Structure 1
């Protein structure tokens, strides 16, 4: 276990506890630039890391707050999980024919970081404008009607499936934005809970897929978990004392700069 990995896990966990987002978007670039891991190993390890760390959050949202819309989760997963599996097979095929996938993953990571930075800035605006739904609504009211709403939700899930599998980024901030746009009357608590619930199977399936490709460093994964779990706990408790409106723009700017660095590399 490397103390540097543990401290990095703690730092990222602390920021996630304060802001609610930023796990993959911070962890993956950190592993690439600070510790020199190959992008595919950083992405694969971070996906399993996300699946494990997000599970506790969903347990709280579902068990304590009853704030997960499982119908929306199922619709998004209908799009995201098959596309995630297909993306893994594409990567596997490219590796089999001797193609270097590093450039593809690096570019996808840069695009995902830029989109996430924009999503962080838009998210606060949408949350302020949103009309909160009644908390005991079983099914959320969508922006569209009937089959159009179903198709739009599945399609958004499919896009997230490809992006998250390639980059490990987007399941949090981009997923939240997608749900806010598709279900504008959903309460903030349910948006967060639903997004977390969808992120777990997606990151788990994508992470296991990268595991089959040999892209997981389990020593690194264990070190990150040792640091991140207390980091998230502490960050969550001090979040009320640090203005989120100050932290989010700074975080967005950092992600934007890192994203352009990946894209232009």
Structure 2
């Protein structure tokens, strides 16, 4: 067994457990950029690994009842055939133009979209939390009472499923952002539970397609599973002690860098883009917080809350 690969999978699994996202978005580019794995083999092997990992988190949410099943149903209607079709497209493109170059480019584009999606998800959640706090109304807890928008939900599933089938990225970083836009009243725990459960058939369909038309390397799969599964468990245990916001911000920068490198951007330009993202992102986030009535940083907000509590 490749213990270096297992260690990398362990670290990525911890991030997944901490944030609920980042599996394919980190694992596949790590395999391509750091371990020299061909892009198609990286995508195929990561999807098999995800098919093992995804059900673990979803079982917890099913037991807790934090799943909006009608939303899951319409997502699966679109995502399962689209995810399987992603492997068919790769199989058709391979003999024509070189599948690895196609997958590498597609992966780079999707990673950039995923980085933007992380930022958008954080902003939408902050805005929703502040709206609820100002109105003094609890967020809606029963996702089953929501009016399900069938056609848009199917389209989200289809687009997300196709991205997962082509690149292994999207089930935990893109679809969840779309769900936040479509269903802003969906509570945070139900949002995560719904996304995790819908990802199970999606990833299984994509993995099945890659078993038939992809390039699964079982020498990669076993160490990935050996590292990522316990890593996800450890991350879940740490999630109550470590700031998920800090991890997500770091993850967004990592996705930006990986996406640019996969698209062939030079080292200097990538470094400049990463530094600009850190500086402008920090300033922009502080401005966005003040626009919603919060202190510029989370630490200042905690101090202000403690001060108000002491005054009372």
Give the conservation status (yes or no) of the 8 Å contact 1:120–1:248: yes
Distance 2:143 2:18 in 1: 28
Q: Which residue of 2 aligns with 1:67?
A: 66
Equivalent residues of 2:87, 2:214 under 8 A apart: no
Shift of 1:90: 2.3
RMSD of the alignment, in Å?
1.6
The answer to which of 191-200 and 127-136 deviates more is 127-136
* 1: CA distance, partners of 2:234 / 2:86: 36
| Higher relative contact order, chain-length normalized (CA < 8 Å, sep 6+) | 1
**Structure 1 residues 155 and 57, CA gap change in structure 2 (3 angstroms):** same
Larger Cα-atom Rg: 2
State the alpha-carbon separation in 1 of the partners of residues 53 and 152 from structure 2. 28
Task: Deviation per CA, 1:15-65: give whole Å up to 9, x if none.
Answer: 1122221111110011111111110010011112112111011101011x1
Aligned to 1:127: 125
1:138 aligns with 2:139: no
Partner of residue 252, structure 1: 252
Matches of 2:6 and 2:127, distance apart in 1: 39
Task: Say if 1:141 and 1:186, in contact at 8 Å, map to a contact too.
Answer: no
| Alpha-carbon distance between aligned partners in 2 of 1:53 and 1:195, rounded to the nearest angstrom | 14
Distance in 2 between residues matched to 1:111 and 1:172, nearest whole Å: 16
1:204, 1:234 → 2: CA distance?
24
Q: Deviations over 1:202-223 (max 9, x none)?
A: 1111111111124111232111
Q: CA deviation at 1:237?
A: 1.6
Q: Write the distance in 2 (CA, Å) between the matches of 1:187 and 1:44.
A: 33
Do the aligned residues in 1 keep the contact of 2:86 with 2:163 (CA within 8 Å)?
Answer: no
Task: Give the corresponding residue for 1:100.
Answer: 98
Residue number in structure 1 paired with 2:82: 83
Question: Which ranges of structure 1 fall in alignment gaps of 5 or more residues?
Answer: 143-148
Tell me, in whole angstroms, the C-alpha distance in 1 between the residues paired with 2:74 and 2:145.
Answer: 12
Aligned position for 1:110: 108
* Aligned residues between the structures: 257
TM-score normalised over the length of structure 2: 0.78
Residues 78 and 157 in structure 1, CA contact (< 8 A), matched pair in contact too: yes
Contact kept in structure 2, 1:141 and 1:185, CA below 8 Å: no
Shift of 1:133: 4.2
What TM-score results when the alignment is normalised by the length of structure 1?
0.91
Q: 1:16 touches 1:22 (CA, 8 Å); kept in 2?
A: yes
Cα distance in 2, alignment partners of residues 231 and 87 from structure 1: 28
CA–CA distance in structure 2, aligned partners of residues 28 and 87 of structure 1 = 16
Residues 90-137 of structure 1 show CA distances to partners (whole Å, capped at 9, x for unaligned) of 222223x44311121111101111111111111122112235643244
Aligned to 1:29: 29
Q: In the TM superposition, what is the alpha-carbon distance from 1:189 to its structure 2 partner?
A: 0.7
- The match for 1:239 is 239
1:193 maps to 193
Q: Is the 8 A contact 2:81 2:205 kept in 1?
A: no
Q: Partners in 1 of 2:143 and 2:244 — Cα distance?
A: 28
